Each structure stands twice: as structure tokens, then as C-alpha cells.
């Protein structure tokens, strides 16, 4: 079996797994009938209603929520989605701590939730390792912690963990570019990464490299930015000066992509297509309108904290996921990283964040 076939098979299996879990995470508390539930049969026109009562009001649940400062479109969407999700439930009271990038302040916030005796905590830590001890204190106090996006350094610090798929983002972006350029072994592919010292950036780059290698391509030009508009513009200007000909670019982050697009427009370059990362609304509108080099973006869900609210409510109510036969809520949920193009952008635009 070739390495190319092995990678495709391995990732296909992983895709089925994480896609299934993502579906479960978004549907775990819903008792809304699906299309299959409501479809009329050939004989009687009857329909089956979903059996779960997870959305039925229960005892009041007080959930504490803490996340970093909303200094980035994706992060702002995280907090907004958590608040919107909590508002859907009459039995949920959400206490939102002020967003902060100060680890000590966030630790104090969690200590406050513990002292108040909340029923559950949903936490996107600024630094997972630094927040591990206080999250463990909450768990030891009998308060379940739902960890979002940035993992703790101990398995005892969280009841459940909800993650995006950084490696999968790179694979999805690379696979899409392979589909477009795979018959051109001389195609020039460029990459605009985020902060190189972060594991998430390293994972995204590794997934991208692996997927490109599956079709005989590689990363010919690479620069790193810093997830900001200014950083994206500066890094892209350097890239375009160093590479007089490019066929495709993958930009890791749609927020820094605002600066990336500005640099591309200022340079008057349009011989390539670009794939974004994270899934912002403005990028999706460019894809929809076909008015720029943007041809696709890869989702890194900003709904993770909303899923965290749902899971926290289920855990506090001692309920299970309605779409699983097993009891309880899974320890880990990893969300899928789909590619958004003009063919499916209408499906993803309503839930996209503004960058």
C-alpha cells in the first residue's frame, strides 16, 4: 500500500469519526425531528418523533464561563455563542467573567466560581497549563469543568474537553489544494502561518504538509504572522516580494487574513487562489461573491463554547447524549474542519463570525 493511499485512508477514517462526534455535539440536547424523522413513508404518512427529553426544563443550573479577551474576531464569537446558547434554556443561569489575557486574573475568576458553588464551569483557558491547578480544584470541589479549545495538562482537570482540529485544518486545506492543483507537479504553494511557537500552528502546518505530500506537492514559500491584521499584511508583503509566481496560498487565520488580502491587493497580484482558515463571515462573503482571490476557507468552529454550555447542562442534570447508546457525556469531543467553497457557503455563513 502506498504512503498516499495510507494517508487518505487514515484521514478518511478520522473524518468519519470526528464528523460523527461533531454531529452528536451539536445535536446532543435537541429533540427537534430530523428530516428522516418527519419524512412520510410510502404507505401511511406517519412520522416518528425523537425520543429525547434533554431540552425539557429541569432544575436550575448555574454555569460559570470564562474565556480570554475578545481581541480577535474568533474569540469574540466564542463568548457570544456561549451566551446565546445559554439563553435558549430557561433552566440555565450563565455567569460570564470578563474576558482576560491575564492568567492570574482568570485563575481568580475560577476561584470565585468555586466559592460561589456554581453547578458547572465552562472554561477556555488563556493558557491551559497555567489553569490546570485551579480547574482541578473545581473538579475536586464537585464542580464539573468543561474545557474548551486549549487543553489542560492533567486529565483530572476537566470532566469533558471540546476541541477544534488544528491538524485536520491543515489536512483539509492541503487536500483542497491538491484537488485543484494535483495534476500540476510544478505548482507553487505558499503558506501564511500564525504564531510559529504555538503548538496549534505547528499542528496546522504539519497537517498541511502531510496532505500536500499526498499529491506530490510541497510548501514552496512560507511565512509566519501573529494572528493580527497588521501581522498578516506585513508577512504577506514579504512573501509576495520573495515569490514572483504562486499558484495557491493557505492562510491559517481569517482575522489576520484581512491584512493578507490588503497586501495582495496592494501588490496587484491575482495569479493564485487563496484558502482561508477559521471561517469568518467576511471571508465567506468574498467566496460567495467571487470578488477576490479567496476561493475557500477551512472551519475552526467558533461554536465550541456553545457546545460546552450544552454539555455542562447535561452533566449538571446527570443526563446523557441523546444520540449515543452509552450513558453519560464523552470525555473528549473533537470537531471537524470542513472546507467552505462557493458550493456550500450558504450552509456555513449564518454561523460564521465577523473578523
**What per-residue confidence (pLDDT) applies to 8?**
44
**Cβ-Cβ contacts under 8 Å for 173 (sequence gap 6 or more):** 207, 208, 211, 250, 275, 277, 298, 339
Q: What is the pTM of this model?
A: 0.81
**What per-residue confidence (pLDDT) applies to 52?**
65
What does the pLDDT look like over 139-149, one tens digit per residue? 999 999 999 99
**What per-residue confidence (pLDDT) applies to 40?**
36
Beta-sheet strand order (sheet of 339-340): 219-224, 189-193, 248-251, 273-278, 294-299, 339-340
Q: Where are the domains of the chain?
A: 59-164+302-319, 166-299
φ/ψ of residue 339, rounded to 5: -95, 130
Shared fold status for 59-164+302-319 and 166-299: yes
Torsion, CA 322, CA 327, CA 331, CA 332, rounded to 10: -30
DSSP assignment string, 26-46: HHTT--PPPHHHHPPPSSS--
Strand partners, 299: 278
Q: Span 59-164+302-319: which CATH code?
A: 3.40.50.2300
**What per-residue confidence (pLDDT) applies to 4?**
40
Sign of the dihedral through C-alpha 213, 20, 325, 141: positive
- Residue with grid cell 452528536, as numbered in its chain: 24
**What per-residue confidence (pLDDT) applies to 26?**
38
**What per-residue confidence (pLDDT) applies to 39?**
37
Report long-range pairs for 80-88 (Cβ below 8 Å, ≥24 apart).
81/302, 81/303, 81/305, 81/306, 82/122, 82/305, 82/306, 82/308, 82/309, 84/306, 85/305, 85/306, 85/309, 85/310, 86/309
Q: Mark the ranges of the chain whose per-residue pLDDT is less than 50.
A: 1-50
CATH class for the region spanning 166-299:
alpha beta
Strands 339-340 vs 294-299: parallel, antiparallel or unpaired: antiparallel
Amino acid at each position: 500500500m502506498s504512503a498516499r493511499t495510507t494517508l487518505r485512508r487514515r484521514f478518511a477514517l478520522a473524518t468519519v469519526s470526528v464528523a460523527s462526534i461533531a454531529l452528536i455535539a451539536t445535536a446532543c440536547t435537541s429533540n427537534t425531528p430530523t428530516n428522516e424523522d418527519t419524512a412520510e413513508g410510502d404507505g401511511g404518512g406517519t412520522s416518528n418523533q425523537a425520543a429525547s427529553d434533554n431540552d425539557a426544563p429541569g432544575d436550575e443550573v448555574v454555569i460559570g464561563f470564562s474565556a480570554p479577551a475578545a481581541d480577535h474576531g474568533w474569540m469574540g464569537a466564542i463568548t457570544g455563542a456561549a451566551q446565546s446558547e445559554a439563553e435558549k434554556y430557561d433552566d440555565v443561569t450563565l455567569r460570564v467573567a470578563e474576558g482576560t489575557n491575564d492568567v492570574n486574573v482568570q485563575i481568580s475568576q475560577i476561584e470565585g466560581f468555586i466559592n460561589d458553588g456554581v453547578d458547572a464551569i465552562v472554561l477556555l483557558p488563556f493558557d491551559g497549563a497555567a489553569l490546570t491547578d485551579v480547574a482541578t480544584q473545581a473538579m475536586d470541589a464537585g464542580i464539573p469543568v468543561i474545557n474548551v479549545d486549549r487543553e489542560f495538562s492533567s486529565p483530572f482537570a476537566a470532566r469533558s474537553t471540546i476541541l477544534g482540529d488544528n491538524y485536520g485544518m491543515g489536512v483539509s486545506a492541503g487536500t483542497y489544494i491538491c484537488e485543484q492543483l494535483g495534476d500540476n507537479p510544478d505548482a507553487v504553494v505558499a503558506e501564511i502561518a500564525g504564531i510559529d511557537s504555538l503548538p496549534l500552528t505547528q499542528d496546522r502546518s504539519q497537517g498541511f504538509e502531510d496532505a500536500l505530500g499526498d499529491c506530490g506537492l510541497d510548501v514552496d514559500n512560507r511565512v509566519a504572522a501573529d494572528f493580527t491584521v497588521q501581522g498578516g499584511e506585513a508577512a504577506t508583503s514579504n512573501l509576495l516580494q520573495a515569490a514572483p509566481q504562486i499558484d495557491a496560498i493557505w492562510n491559517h487565520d481569517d482575522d489576520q487574513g484581512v491584512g493578507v488580502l490588503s497586501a495582495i491587493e496592494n501588490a496587484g497580484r491575482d495569479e493564485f487562489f487563496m484558502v482561508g482558515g477559521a471561517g469568518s463571515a467576511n471571508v465567506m462573503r468574498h467566496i460567495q461573491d467571487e470578488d477576490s482571490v479567496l476561493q475557500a476557507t477551512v472551519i475552526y468552529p467558533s461554536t465550541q463554547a456553545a457546545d460546552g454550555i450544552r454539555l455542562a447542562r447535561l452533566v449538571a442534570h446527570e443526563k446523557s447524549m441523546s444520540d449515543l447508546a452509552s450513558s453519560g457525556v464523552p470525555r473528549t469531543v473533537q470537531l471537524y474542519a470542513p472546507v467552505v467553497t462557493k458550493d456550500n457557503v450558504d450552509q456555513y455563513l449564518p454561523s460564521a463570525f465577523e473578523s
